[in-house]
Amino acid sequence: MIATLEDLRARLDEIRGTDRAAQGPRIALVSTLGALHDGHVDLIKRARERSDVVVVSTFVNPLRFRTAEDTAAYPRSPDADARVLDDLAVDVVFAPTAAELLPAGTATTRVSAGDVGLRYEGRVRPFYFDGVLTVEAKLFHLVAPHVAVYGERDLQRIFLVRRMVRDLNFPVEIDTVPTVRTDDGLPVSSRIALLDEVDRRAVAKLPRALEAAASNADMGVDACIAAAQSALMGEQRISLEYLSVVDPATFLPVDEGHRGRAFALIAATVGGHRFIDNAEISLR
């Protein structure tokens, strides 16, 4: 496990070799906050398929959180993470401290996520995506991966990272992996284990709402959203934060005339914990 920028550079230089004219190994990056679960395992397996060398970062990014207390409260399981990464034969594990990766603290220069970064998740946490993109950009600069792998549970993050790669000319391919789900359809998340049985049954209605949206997509976007809302009707434990249908090309809400591929996005708080999910739908 590597904790400093100096050691990371030295290890990657060793991997790439001294012959700069030769084509070096293909490198994949999986950036995480640690607390690894089955979803992360799938990302790492895809990274292994797409590369010769897999680099995994486990960094609880303070720029993603509202306060230092929120950062400190994020679940950490370094011993369990180490076992997972060892079992998967990850080549490089980068686990820096905040002081190492962000020496200027929260005053550091940041990448702006723009208007889309202030919608959906960004409306709830307006600082969030600037923090995400800033650290992703630093990791792309430090690791120089050929490919970076993300899970499709975080579609807005993927859209914004892809746009940053295009706009800032990072020579990295963005690959995605379908969402890993529990038996009752929930995206795998460390938060699920924190719910009691009643809240767990309630939160399982979120993927049901997305299924209802997809089933009514042939009737247009308004019918799609109404069906999803109906699926949540009467569930008082769910505090809905947003339910939107967006254009994959712009990540802006579609209008009634939109036809073809779209994404339905949902976010809600249940039992004091936030959950997000999404589904691809086809509007006709």
Tens digit of pLDDT for each residue in 8-66?
999 999 999 865 555 789 999 999 999 898 899 999 999 999 999 999 999 999 999 88
- Whether 3 shows a pLDDT value over 80: the answer reads yes
Q: Coil, helix or strand for 25?
A: coil
Query: 189 a known binding residue?
Result: yes
* Backbone angles phi and psi of 270, in degrees to 5: -135, 125
Across 82-97, average pLDDT: 96
Query: 190 a known binding residue?
Result: yes
Q: What is the pLDDT of residue 107?
A: 81
Spatial CA neighbour of 106 closest among 154, 64, 143: 64
Query: 154 a known binding residue?
Result: yes
Do residues 131 and 139 make contact, with C-beta atoms less than 8 angstroms apart?
no
Identify the burial level of 104 via C-beta atoms within 10 angstroms of its C-beta, where 0-12 means exposed, 13-18 middle and 19 or more buried.
Answer: exposed
**Helices and strands counted in the chain (H then E):** 11, 8
> Which residue ranges make up each domain of the chain?
5-177, 192-279
Q: Coil, helix or strand for 7?
A: helix
Query: 165 a known binding residue?
Result: no
Across 121-144, average pLDDT: 95
Confidence of residue 100 (pLDDT cuts 50, 70, 90): very high
Spatial CA neighbour of 266 closest among 224, 207, 218, 216: 207
pTM: predicted TM-score of the whole model, two decimal places:
0.93
Do residues 28 and 145 make contact, with C-beta atoms less than 8 angstroms apart?
yes
Give CA–CA dist 231/45, Å, rounded. 35
Q: What is the pLDDT of residue 19?
A: 54
Query: 151 a known binding residue?
Result: yes
Q: What architecture is the 5-177 domain classified under in CATH?
A: 3-Layer(aba) Sandwich (3.40)
167: Cβ contacts below 8 Å, ≥ 6 apart:
none
Tens digit of pLDDT for each residue in 244-277?
999 999 999 998 888 899 999 999 999 888 999 9
Give CA–CA dist 222/126, Å, rounded. 27
Residue 158, H or E segment = helix 155-167
Give CA–CA dist 134/141, Å, rounded. 11
Query: 180 a known binding residue?
Result: yes
Tens digit of pLDDT for each residue in 138-156?
999 999 999 999 999 999 9
Give CA–CA dist 206/108, Å, rounded. 37
User: Could you confirm whether 37 is annotated as catalytic?
Assistant: no
Q: What is the pLDDT of residue 208?
A: 96
Across 181-192, average pLDDT: 88
Query: 6 a known binding residue?
Result: no
Q: Coil, helix or strand for 245?
A: strand
Chain-wide mean pLDDT for the chain?
Answer: 93
Which of 37, 40, 141, 258 is the catalytic position?
40
Beta strands at 147-151 and 27-32: parallel, antiparallel or unpaired: parallel
Do residues 88 and 44 make contact, with C-beta atoms less than 8 angstroms apart?
yes
Q: What is the pLDDT of residue 191?
A: 82
Query: 153 a known binding residue?
Result: yes
In sign, the C-alpha dihedral spanning 43, 62, 139, 153 is positive
Q: What is the pLDDT of residue 76?
A: 85
The class (CATH top level) of 192-279 is alpha beta
Kindly report the number of other CB atoms within 10 A of residue 21's CB atom: 4
Spatial CA neighbour of 260 closest among 227, 221, 225, 228: 221
Confidence of residue 228 (pLDDT cuts 50, 70, 90): very high
